[in-house]
Amino acid sequence: MLAFLPAAALGFLFSDAITRYLFSPVTVGLSLMLGGAVLWLIEGRAFTARTTVLTQVSPRQALIVGCAQCLALIPGVSRSASSIIGGLLTGLDRPTATAFSFYLSIPTLGLATLYALIKGREALDSTQLGPLLVGMLVSFVTALLAIGWLLKYVSRHDFRGFAIYRILVGLAILGWALWR
């Protein structure tokens, strides 16, 4: 719960300003590219993993990961990448940092969704409740499957492929934004 609080507080306080000033293709493209570069650089660095079990994550580590997750309030910054990198920098091994990041996503994304629904409740009517609930259920199941796959993947591979993907997509978005 401690790791969730920084992003929840900043998201609540600054959501309107973030939406108003930071949601643009240029911001997203630059954030994707910068995030890809950071992932690439992190992969080239040797870390001393002091924590290899999820239940041994200290409150200090959790708070640092939570603060790192705040970067994801910037459009284009990956919530999972920022929290995984925060975990690696605090001494979590790759599988533990990845698992912690995805457990952290449950309250973070769940309450962010609830907050957005409450803010936009005037646009919803009762006929949309069924499709909304089905969509939420499908998203949850899909997320669980993706988490399972990613946890297996990171136990055998690094994040360089994701870094390249982010840089290429960022370049494509910037190219589109600048030449449209």
Instruction: Summarize pLDDT for 44-57 with one digit per residue, the tens.
Output: 787 788 888 999 99
Give mean pLDDT, residues 140-164: 86
Split at pLDDT 50, 70, 90, the class of 82 is very high
pTM for the whole structure: 0.83
Six token digits for residue 143: 């997320």
Q: What span, in angstroms and rounded, lies between the C-alpha atoms of 5 and 11?
A: 10
| Residue 148: per-residue pLDDT | 84
Residue 125: CB atoms within 10 A of its CB come to 8
Whole-angstrom distance, CA of residue 147 vs CA of residue 75: 22
Q: Are 32 and 169 in contact (CB under 8 A)?
A: yes
Q: How many domains does the chain have?
A: 1
CB atoms within 10 A of CB 72: 20
| CA–CA–CA angle 64, 80, 132 (5° rounding) | 125
**Average pLDDT score over the chain:** 89
| Domain extent for 47 | 5-179
pLDDT at 155 over 90: no
Confidence of residue 95 (pLDDT cuts 50, 70, 90): confident
